[in-house]
């Protein structure tokens, strides 16, 4: 057999027990670095049931709480943002007016610090929103988060008897990127333009090792095709760098959409013995340079977008607005959907 197709024994000994003993999880995130400093971030949301997602617009100047009890961290939002919720109790995805993108994805290996209630606490449901509210770039966010201004506090997934175990990705208009995980109770940050792809299990260091193996083979020879996180990671990593770097933004967006669709799980396919390997329910694509936030549901015929340049994010006149996507995100919208948002009271982050 061609040695390129033989997974090194040392790598197998380290990684295969990890992959076989833990349930693989859902979602894919990737960053496209194109011509003319074009940067586009895409993500898929894979889950076994309706995540009750809606889109929200938040202006600057919102008073926030970390929802972690009496000593919750508090802040006032510096940036307005457009976000997608999970169960209407958390921010799962979004982009702020400065072009910073935040995505949270499942990572079953996550272990967070023990929270004693004395220091500033932040609910995991508000983790992505905290980044969007406070930082305009990945560099700024990483410098601040390395100082650990809060203790991250997790809670049970709505309707389930298990804790939310997530990791966070950040990307910005410069093409900078960061992956933030909590492993063994310690924060681990991978920071740099080279960290373009994030999926789920195993932890990011091991994903990089697996991907290095597939790079030796080369994506034009063979790519892994299952719906497991490590296979989606390999496919997304190859394709996001193989697609043409078109100077036409429409073509660039089309290419990125094709990559995130390629890393998606066909609707209706689930793995019963591993319930976190589930159908893709929706996808988002963020054009950082043009400040466009696209949304695509698996159950509607069209993709629509929010042009952040058309949104009033000001503290003085900006309003909290909500776009009702309906059960299973079946409501149909077309074109720039800013006009379809309606005033609403902000949702409350799930917390202690």
Beta bridge partners of 304: 295, 335
Sheet holding 335-336, edge to edge: 197-198, 28-33, 39-46, 280-287, 292-297, 304-307, 335-336
Beta bridge partners of 106: 166
In contact, 332 and 300? CB cutoff 8 Å: yes
In contact, 313 and 320? CB cutoff 8 Å: no
Cis peptide before 89 (omega within 30 of 0): no
Q: What CA–CA distance (Å, rounded) separates 137 from 352?
A: 29
List 27, 141, 197, 306, catalytic entry: 27
127 classed as catalytic = no
- Measuring CA to CA, how many Å separate 233 from each of 193, 197, 210, 285, 339? 16, 7, 9, 17, 36
Q: Which backbone phi and psi does 104 adopt, to 5 degrees?
A: -110, 135
Helices (H), the chain: 9-21, 127-134, 138-145, 204-217, 229-242, 249-262
In contact, 77 and 58? CB cutoff 8 Å: yes
Q: What CA–CA distance (Å, rounded) separates 312 from 348?
A: 22
* Token pair listed for 56: 């929200």
- The H or E element that residue 18 is part of is helix 9-21
Burial of residue 309, with CB atoms counted within 10 A of its CB: 0-12 exposed, 13-18 middle, 19 or more buried = exposed
Task: Just list the catalytic residues.
Answer: 27
């Amino acid at each position: 057999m061609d040695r390129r197709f033989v997974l090194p024994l040392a790598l197998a000994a380290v990684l295969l027990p990890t992959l076989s003993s833990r349930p693989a999880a859902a979602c894919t995130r990737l960053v496209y670095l194109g011509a003319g400093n074009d940067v586009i971030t895409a993500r898929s949301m894979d889950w076994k049931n309706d995540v009750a997602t809606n889109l929200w617009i938040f202006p600057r100047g919102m008073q926030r709480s970390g929802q972690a009890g009496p000593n919750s961290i508090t802040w006032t939002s510096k940036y307005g943002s457009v976000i997608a919720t999970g169960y209407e109790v958390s921010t799962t995805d979004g982009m702020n007016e400065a072009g910073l993108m935040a995505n949270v994805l499942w990572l079953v290996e996550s272990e967070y610090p023990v929270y004693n209630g004395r220091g500033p606490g932040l609910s995991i449901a508000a983790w992505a929103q905290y980044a969007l509210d406070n930082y305009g770039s990945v560099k700024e966010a990483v410098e601040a988060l390395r100082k650990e201004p809060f203790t991250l506090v997790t809670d049970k997934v709505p309707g389930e008897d298990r804790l939310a175990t997530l990791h966070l990705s950040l990307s910005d208009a410069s093409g900078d990127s960061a992956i933030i995980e909590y492993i063994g109770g310690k924060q681990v940050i991978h920071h740099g333009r080279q960290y373009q792809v994030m999926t789920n299990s195993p932890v990011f260091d091991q994903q990089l090792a697996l991907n290095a193996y597939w790079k030796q083979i080369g994506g034009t020879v063979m790519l892994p095709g299952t719906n497991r996180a490590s296979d989606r990671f390999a496919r997304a990593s190859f394709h996001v760098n193989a697609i043409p770097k078109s100077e036409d933004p429409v073509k660039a967006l089309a290419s990125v959409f094709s990559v995130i669709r390629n890393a998606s799980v066909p609707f209706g396919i689930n793995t019963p013995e591993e319930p976190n390997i589930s159908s893709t329910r929706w996808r988002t694509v963020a054009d950082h340079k043009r400040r466009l936030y696209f949304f695509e549901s698996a159950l509607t015929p069209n993709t629509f977008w929010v042009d952040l340049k058309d949104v009033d994010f000001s503290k003085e006149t900006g309003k909290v607005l909500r776009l009702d996507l309906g059960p299973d995100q079946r409501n149909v919208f077309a074109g720039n959907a800013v006009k379809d948002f309606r005033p609403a009271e902000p949702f409350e982050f799930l917390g202690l």
